[in-house]
Amino acid sequence: MATVTLDSPLSGIIGGKSAKALEKAFGMTTALGLLEHLPRRYSKRGELTPLTGLPVGEQVTVVAQVLDVQVRRMQRRPGQIVEARITDGVGTLTLTFFNQAFRAKDLRAGRQGIFAGKVSEYRGAYQLQHPDYEFFDADDEVPGGAQLEEAAAKAWAETPVPIYPATTQVASWTVQRAVEMVLDALSEVPDPLPHELVRSEGLLSLGAAFEAAHRPRNDSDWRQAQRSLKFREAFDLQLALLYRRRQQAAEPSTPRPPGALLERFDASLPFALTGDQVQVGSVIASELAEPHPMHRLLQGEVGSGKTLVALRAMLQVAESGGQSALLAPTEVLAAQHFRSVVETLGPELAAHLNPVLVTGRMPASERRRALLSLASGNARIAVGTHALMSDGVTFYDLGLTIVDEQHRFGVDQREALRQKGSQPHVLAMTATPIPRTVALTAFGDLETLTIRELPPGRQGIETFVVPEIEMPRRAARVWERAAEDIAAGRQVYVVCPAISGGAAPSLEEGEFAEAETTEMIAPGGAQPPKRPLANVTDTVAEMRAMPQFAGFRVEALTGNMPGPEKDRVMSEFAAGSIHVLVATTVIEVGVNVPNASIMIVRDADRFGVSQLHQLRGRVGRGQHAGLCLLMSVAEQGSIARERIEAVANTSDGFALAEIDLELRREGDILGTAQSGGRSTLKLLRVTHDGELIAHARELAGALLDTDPGLGAHPSLAAVIAREEQHLENLAKS
């Protein structure tokens, strides 16, 4: 047999059929892929899994003992049913098999093993129908020998049994067998980490770590393995991020020093810059003037004046004839950014810089004209959607790319835009505050700038939770209050988690809000609403039928509407001729209508904490105080309710981001890739491993200081190549 390495295809080691099953279930194709599929937990043969509180509808794997078994005839149909009860010593769970009488012989009282199946409920009792199982004594005899017996039996009972993430097709023990075949076949595993690092960090070698994680002899084995593998994961990721950043920072780029255009603009501003704007602005100004590309992530609350900072950077770049491209996540936002850029520049500067809008939906002739002025260098500012990245778009001299709402764009998209210039400077902006560990993990190739201070004179926003079930009157009052504000000349937003009723929640283009929230609520123990999710279509109909809205215009805005239709609704709302805008999270970011005073969020518990904070940032932007009403059927004390209470009680977006981090499950933070059961981060948990991540980053930085090109560490260079793909996935979230 050929030497088996980490890169060997699984099919050659465990056989084509098993390899195919594993690939289908988990996406792995190589020995490494399988070895990185780590046990979810470890059980003991002597320690049974508690059988209470098993999640109905989910696949579970439990260690238990058969209590009793009985065979009876089915009542309505011919045939037999075998019912075995298994126990954890306290509770029981019923296993049922139809027309498989032979099971009764197999499932003898007292036998212990692993049972796997989907939990269902039948007449108030939990059961597994046609589960898979494997008894410990079947292939794992208690080792004999009279004098040794007691010690051996104890060891046998205490050896950790790895329980793997499994599917209905591939059981935990199937994974375990495959892993064992791979471990047995594997030749010595080379360790990509430098020897000194392995020693100074007290790590297991890579091969030993895999062995200890999959075939631990005791608890300390797998604990050590986890620590080692976790460190390796953090280190590999940080090394790749820092490497990429340093490579980019070393590229030559055209320096863009500030000049008269920026001065003229600053002089024309009707207000003074906030302290944070000045500070952040000066960092950007000096980095743009460097002969290397800037890579910065600018974060700050909605309305903190990021766009203004970005515009000042564009003016600096325009000084030397350079062009800037501002990339927005949706057509609505692109159009709005464009308008505000033109307005803020004022007529003279706008005529001089000739900003153009580029979206996928604009008329061909208009688009051609815009593209022409970008290619000729006549237009020095382009604002657009991802249409800006398409092949037909060329720039005369692209000096700066600005990506608004960074988390919606992956590294590869940012990259595609960068390719349109020769090493343009990059400024990414986000209104979603990002806790440091997340920033280091997901955006580690960008350095962060933060605006905390809001421009003066902002009216506050008051936020209240409206518990519809406990306080139905207060819920009714929401609509009256909205009508009163409209009568007083204000406008109202109503946000729903779904577009229309019946079907599953509809996702907006490029959005993961709904997917994310359903994911995070179920495991938190909250009940799903007892009615379908509030949706835009029904809400519009309901509001139009309410007498208090007679004579007011209530319109829908959702991501699936045609572009021109969306723009029409948005501009009519901006102009004040639409009074109530009922929308999905399409309005989450950036939309600016200062006359809007109330934000009503229906089924608010369906949204993330940070997302709710974004939403309420839509009101209280003008001279009128804002009011945000979070409607919910979540019960008091539930996690879902706790989350929205947190939003109501805290106005600090950074504090909320931290809360979000604590309350959300890991997979939700780093994106949607996890929802399929596959994780982009394997062992690392940004919620708990902040220190480890920071430590690994320091070590990775130190290593790159001594060996910037990794010439002396070819195996680490290979690791980086592998991590690149991983990074793409992380950043896409």
List residues near Mg ion by CB under 5 A.
307, 590
Residue carrying structure tokens 């500067």: 349
Residues 6 or more apart whose Cβ sits within 8 Å of residue 22 = 10, 14, 28, 34, 170, 175, 178
Q: Which is nearer to Mg ion, 497 or 590 (CB)?
A: 590
Binding partner selected for residue 308 from Mg ion, ligand ADP, none, CB under the kind-specific 5 to 8 Å limit: ligand ADP
Name the minimum Å distance from CB 306 to Mg ion.
5
Kindly state the tokens that stand for 201: 């960090």
Residue carrying structure tokens 């692993």: 114
How far apart CA 112 and CA 378 sit, in angstroms, is 78
Q: Which is nearer to ligand ADP, 103 or 306 (CB)?
A: 306
3-state secondary structure 437-499: HHHHHHCCCCEEEEECCCCCCCCCEEEEEEECCCCHHHHHHHHHHHHHHHHCCCEEEEECCEC
Name the minimum Å distance from CB 592 to Mg ion.
7
Name the minimum Å distance from CB 281 to ligand ADP.
11
Residue carrying structure tokens 């947190």: 646
Q: Which of 462, 79, 35, 433 is nearest to 211 (CA)?
A: 35
Q: Which is nearer to ligand ADP, 39 or 303 (CB)?
A: 303
Binding partner selected for residue 273 from ligand ADP, Mg ion, none, CB under the kind-specific 5 to 8 Å limit: ligand ADP
Q: Which is nearer to ligand ADP, 57 or 456 (CB)?
A: 456
Q: Which is nearer to Mg ion, 258 or 305 (CB)?
A: 305
List residues near ligand ADP by CB under 6 A.
271, 273-274, 277, 300, 302-308, 455
How far apart CA 367 and CA 371 sit, in angstroms, is 6
Binding partner selected for residue 305 from Mg ion, ligand ADP, none, CB under the kind-specific 5 to 8 Å limit: ligand ADP
Q: Which is nearer to Mg ion, 431 or 719 (CB)?
A: 431
Binding partner selected for residue 535 from Mg ion, ligand ADP, none, CB under the kind-specific 5 to 8 Å limit: none
Q: Which residue is nearest to Mg ion (CB)?
A: 307
Q: How open is the CA angle 453-629-535, to the nearest 5 degrees? A: 115
Name the minimum Å distance from CB 440 to ligand ADP.
23
Name the minimum Å distance from CB 332 to Mg ion.
12
3-state secondary structure of 95: strand
Q: Which is nearer to ligand ADP, 122 or 271 (CB)?
A: 271
Distances, alpha carbon 493 to alpha carbons 36, 265, 483, 554, in Å: 47, 34, 12, 10
Binding partner selected for residue 497 from Mg ion, ligand ADP, none, CB under the kind-specific 5 to 8 Å limit: none
Name the minimum Å distance from CB 482 to ligand ADP.
24
Binding partner selected for residue 717 from ligand ADP, Mg ion, none, CB under the kind-specific 5 to 8 Å limit: none
User: Which amino acid is located at 497 in the chain?
Assistant: P
Binding partner selected for residue 274 from Mg ion, ligand ADP, none, CB under the kind-specific 5 to 8 Å limit: ligand ADP
Name the minimum Å distance from CB 308 to ligand ADP.
4
Q: 102 — phi, psi (to 5°)?
A: -60, -20
Q: Which is nearer to Mg ion, 239 or 309 (CB)?
A: 309
Tell me the helix, strand and coil percentages in the chain, rounded to 5. 45, 20, 35
Q: Which residues of 654-681 are buried (b: 16+ CB within 10 A; e: fewer)?
A: bebbbbbbebbbbbbbbbbbbeeebbbb
Query: On the CB side of 123, how many CA atoms lie within 13 Å of its CA?
Result: 1
Q: Which is nearer to ligand ADP, 208 or 273 (CB)?
A: 273
How far apart CA 603 and CA 408 sit, in angstroms, is 23
Binding partner selected for residue 626 from ligand ADP, Mg ion, none, CB under the kind-specific 5 to 8 Å limit: none
Edge-to-edge strand ranges of the sheet holding 491-495: 461-467, 626-632, 596-601, 491-495, 580-583, 554-557
Binding partner selected for residue 336 from Mg ion, ligand ADP, none, CB under the kind-specific 5 to 8 Å limit: none
Q: Which is nearer to ligand ADP, 176 or 307 (CB)?
A: 307
Name the minimum Å distance from CB 451 to Mg ion.
11
Q: What residues does 493 pair with on adjacent strands?
A: 581, 599
Q: Which is nearer to ligand ADP, 306 or 602 (CB)?
A: 306
Q: Are 633 and 448 in contact (CB under 8 A)?
A: no
Please report the DSSP string for 580-592 in residue order. Answer: EEEE-GGGSSS--
User: Which amino acid is located at 190 in the chain?
Assistant: P
Name the minimum Å distance from CB 258 to ligand ADP.
18
Kindly state the tokens that stand for 498: 């779904």
Name the minimum Å distance from CB 468 to ligand ADP.
31
Alpha-carbon dihedral of residues 122, 125, 128, 133, nearest 10 degrees? -160
Name the minimum Å distance from CB 303 to Mg ion.
7
Binding partner selected for residue 33 from Mg ion, ligand ADP, none, CB under the kind-specific 5 to 8 Å limit: none
Name the minimum Å distance from CB 273 to ligand ADP.
5
Name the minimum Å distance from CB 490 to Mg ion.
22
Q: Which is nearer to ligand ADP, 348 or 480 (CB)?
A: 348
Q: Which is nearer to ligand ADP, 565 or 652 (CB)?
A: 652
Task: Give the ranges where 670-713 is alpha helix by DSSP (H).
Answer: 690-706
Residues 6 or more apart whose Cβ sits within 8 Å of residue 240 = 719, 720, 723, 724, 726, 727
Binding partner selected for residue 303 from Mg ion, ligand ADP, none, CB under the kind-specific 5 to 8 Å limit: ligand ADP
Binding partner selected for residue 304 from Mg ion, ligand ADP, none, CB under the kind-specific 5 to 8 Å limit: ligand ADP
Binding partner selected for residue 337 from Mg ion, ligand ADP, none, CB under the kind-specific 5 to 8 Å limit: none
Q: Are 273 and 281 in contact (CB under 8 A)?
A: yes
